[in-house]
Amino acid sequence: MKRIYYAAAIVLLTALMHGCSDSGDDETSIESSEGLDSQEIEILDNTPDAVGFDPEDVVLPNGRNMMEYLEEVNPDFLDEQGRKASPKELGPQAARNELIAKLTYTATRLIDRSRYPGNGQNGLGYSWGSKDPSKLQPPPGAGTKCKEPIYGLDCSGYLYQVFKSAGIILPEGPADLQRDATVLENAIKKAYPEFKKLKVDDLGEIPAAKFETGDIIYWLNSKGQAKHIGVILKDANGRLAVFQSNGSPGTDSGDCDKNMSAGRGPRKLELNDPYWFATNKIYGVVRFNAAISGKWDLVLRCQGYTTDALKFNLDFPTSQEADLSITGSGVDYDGEPINCEGTLHYDNTTNVLSGNFLTTKSSAPEFFRNDSFEVKLATDDTGYFPMLLGEENEAGCPVEGKLVNKDTE
């Protein structure tokens, strides 16, 4: 029989663009607070919706279809807009994906213009200072010249409603407070105490290639404050869109009618315009992650085998990006003990764990093997992934491993 020698202990944009409300005392508050400038407003007015981006094709960080995942773990949420966590016992990654599924589902419903008829509008419009789309009211934000009643939301109002519909109460604004990782994490855990392993990380400016469904994206003004905010969604083809509400505060009364048009209010916009990634555009991404600290099992076997050779009980001490030294021991297929030492690295911007291991055998001093791996921790059970065999002597078979998170909510 082939032998296996291995062991381990392991630790484990772009929101766009538009005017959010910041209550002020007079008209000058519009110019000094959140919101895009007139050039940015015009660009968004002329930016078409993300044609062909079907909300029902949205893919979660675990690779699952958003709608199918919700139907599996919490179908009552789709039927009743329930605000409870799943009745099933969920591991940290499963809970994270359920939360993101709820948020993205509500984000897609708010941009569905067919759901909001009335007042002669084409769906919800843009309303400076509004956080409640059910109220027909003049924009409540300070300084606006818009006086006509409108059903609408500004960008922070849109984000507030996305979370509220998922049972989470955020500050109504401003966007700069809503993008605060601590504020978001506290609000989520207050609504869902059982999501104790969920954490929120401000990743700053990361490449668009690393964007994931459920990321909150914000843009900063010259004062370092968030001037616009939205939610990123990704479909099965890897296409990115930002769901947000854009429009004008209404410093010019002639601009108010435009806020009721299809080019303003809650919309889905494709994230491929280089304008928003120019050197003068500063953005950041906030991500919902699952803490990797805790108990895991590492299972190893020869590639192609159905029988596991080794299982290690691991305790991951950290939830942050870190380099870790590990040791472990186990028993091979042939019953002989083996030992391992190595290093691991966890990257919280990609949720990827990588590692390199040296495996030795006390009964055969000449034996050694070096293996490495890289795996995305998108689920609580990674399934088997291949190890890459490096320098070795009498190494035996190629190895594959599986990580299983033993912590449940």
Q: Does residue 285 lie within any of the structural domains?
A: yes
Q: What is the DSSP letter of 387?
A: P
With CA atoms as reference, report the closest residue to 299 among 310, 289, 288: 310
- Most confident by average pLDDT, 138-142, 279-283, 404-408: 138-142
Lowest mean pLDDT of 189-198, 231-240, 308-317, 395-404, name the range: 308-317
Q: Can you read off the two tokens belonging to residue 43? A: 């660009």
Residue 245 β-bridge partners: 266
262/76 Cα distance (integer angstroms): 32
Which helix (H) or strand (E) segment holds residue 352: the answer is: strand 352-360
Residue 81 has pLDDT above 70, yes or no: no
378/355 Cα distance (integer angstroms): 17
361/383 Cα distance (integer angstroms): 27
- pLDDT, average across residues 260-289: 83
Which pLDDT does position 309 carry in this prediction?
82
- Most confident by average pLDDT, 97-111, 239-253, 395-409: 97-111
The residue type at 200: V
CB 378 within 8 A of CB 353: no
Q: Can you read off the two tokens belonging to residue 230? A: 């939205």
The residue among 272, 289, 306 that closes a domain is 289
Q: Does residue 16 lie within any of the structural domains?
A: no
Which pLDDT does position 18 carry in this prediction?
37
The residue among 255, 289, 323 that closes a domain is 289
Regarding whether 250 and 161 lie in a shared domain, the answer is yes
Between 23 and 299, where is the model more confident? 299
CB 21 within 8 A of CB 154: yes
Mean pLDDT over the full length of the chain: 83
CB 354 within 8 A of CB 332: no
Which pLDDT does position 15 carry in this prediction?
32
Over residues 193-250, the pLDDT tens digits come to: 888 889 999 999 998 889 999 999 999 988 899 999 999 999 999 999 999 999 999 8
Q: What is the sign of the dihedral through the CA atoms of 141, 33, 263 and 272?
A: negative
3 state DSSP class of 371: strand
Question: CB under 8 Å to 215, separation ≥6 — which residues?
Answer: 231, 232, 285, 286, 287
CATH number at 383 reads 2.40.128.120
Q: Does residue 110 lie within any of the structural domains?
A: yes
Regarding whether 356 and 285 lie in a shared domain, the answer is no
Regarding whether 190 and 61 lie in a shared domain, the answer is yes
Structural domain total, the chain: 2
Confidence of residue 277 (pLDDT cuts 50, 70, 90): low
CB 145 within 8 A of CB 133: no
Lowest mean pLDDT of 10-19, 56-65, 356-365, name the range: 10-19
Residue 22 has pLDDT above 80, yes or no: no
- pLDDT, average across residues 51-77: 91
pTM of the complete model = 0.85
Regarding whether 273 and 152 lie in a shared domain, the answer is yes
Over residues 282-298, the pLDDT tens digits come to: 899 999 998 888 888 88
Number of other residues whose CB lies within 10 A of the CB of residue 271: 23
Domain carrying residue 250: 28-289
Over residues 175-186, the pLDDT tens digits come to: 999 999 999 999
Q: Can you read off the two tokens belonging to residue 389? A: 């065999």
Lowest mean pLDDT of 213-217, 303-307, 322-326, 370-374, name the range: 322-326
30/65 Cα distance (integer angstroms): 40
Q: Can you read off the two tokens belonging to residue 218? A: 């914000």
Lowest mean pLDDT of 24-33, 266-275, 336-345, name the range: 24-33
Which pLDDT does position 211 carry in this prediction?
93
248/264 Cα distance (integer angstroms): 8
Q: Does residue 21 lie within any of the structural domains?
A: no
Residue 353 β-bridge partners: 346, 375
Regarding whether 347 and 384 lie in a shared domain, the answer is yes
Regarding whether 148 and 217 lie in a shared domain, the answer is yes
Confidence of residue 96 (pLDDT cuts 50, 70, 90): very high
Regarding whether 376 and 282 lie in a shared domain, the answer is no
Which residue, chain included where needed, has tokens 């869109």?
241
Which residue, chain included where needed, has tokens 């991951």?
316
The residue among 289, 305, 338 that closes a domain is 289
Length of the chain: 409
Q: Does residue 61 lie within any of the structural domains?
A: yes
Regarding whether 301 and 153 lie in a shared domain, the answer is no
Lowest mean pLDDT of 118-127, 287-296, 329-338, name the range: 329-338
Q: Can you read off the two tokens belonging to residue 41? A: 């407003």
- How far does Cα 133 stand from its chain's mean position? 25
184/32 Cα distance (integer angstroms): 25
- pLDDT, average across residues 106-129: 91
CB 156 within 8 A of CB 249: no
Which helix (H) or strand (E) segment holds residue 70: the answer is: helix 66-73
